[in-house]
Amino acid sequence: MKTLIEERFGTHPDDFKKYTTETIRKDFLIEAIMQPDTVKWVYSHNDRLMVGGVMPVEEQLTLQTLDLLRAEYFLERRELGIINTGGAGVVYADGHAWELENKDALYIGKGIREVAFASMNAQNPARFYVNSAPAHTSYPTKRITKAEAISVDMGSLETCNARTINKMIVNQLLDTCQLQMGLTELKTGSVWNTMPAHTHPRRMEAYFYFELPADQAVCHFMGQPSETRHIWMKGEDAVISPAWSIHAATATANYSFIWGMAGENLDYGDMDMVDTVDLR
């Protein structure tokens, strides 16, 4: 197995206004997260959220500690959120096996020493999207199936943003220190997500786009509401969104995405909304 790690630093919004396309992609875009028999991580200094992908095919993959963490084991001071975007898989947490079907989630709390990932079928491997944030206490490991998610329908076909938001690793369902995760599915004929746009200065966010045809693309919008930028992304790419930035997108085909947040406020409704006509 391989473990890959990359470090990304925080950005001031005034500096961001001067960024070229190349710089925006280098600092915020995470490409090709899912790689066979590989654990891939990006460590962001925005609330120290770690964004990654784990794709076991022929091997069982183990979550290893990293020099960057200076920890005896990966979850010594962290919590972990997992959502499976592929075939059926299993996650082992200190020897306990948790089976995850497509779009099931698992939360693993601080203090679990050994975490491993496996696929049920190498021909249809699991594709585990993972987020990790610093944790101050230990909360129990818990699986949240897609059926157990808090599902809310939002938007409309008239505004091309009819979608179902599935809240999975959220404080209405389980205790976490700061990590929140969920899955949004756009309905057929809708391509806009997170409209009206918003920011939430008390927490940052990362988006992972998937279920997008290989020959199609997502255009993700970011930046302060008064001066936005965009970034073109492919399926199974992720993007880091600082607390001062909007995070919205449209695409050339239907898609789904996973949102993960870290910060000081666990209230999902803590948003500073921006009227669409005020975006620049």
Extract the tokens encoding 226.
Answer: 């008064």
Domain ranges of the chain: 2-135+147-278
CATH code at 2-135+147-278: 2.60.120.10
pLDDT tens digit sequence for 48-99: 999 999 999 999 999 999 999 999 999 999 999 999 999 999 999 999 999 9
DSSP state of 77: S
Counting DSSP H helices and E strands in the chain, the numbers are 2, 23
Q: Are 12 and 96 in contact (CB under 8 A)?
A: no
pLDDT, mean over the chain: 96
Q: CA 118, CA 113: separation in Å to the nearest integer? A: 17
pLDDT tier for residue 1 given thresholds of 50, 70 and 90: confident
Query: Rg of the chain over CA atoms, in angstroms?
Result: 18
State the pLDDT at residue 267. Answer: 81
Mode of pairing for the β-strands spanning 128-134 and 142-144: unpaired
Q: Mean pLDDT throughout 112-120?
A: 98
Q: Prior bond to 140 cis, omega within 30? A: no
Is residue 270 predicted with pLDDT exceeding 90? no
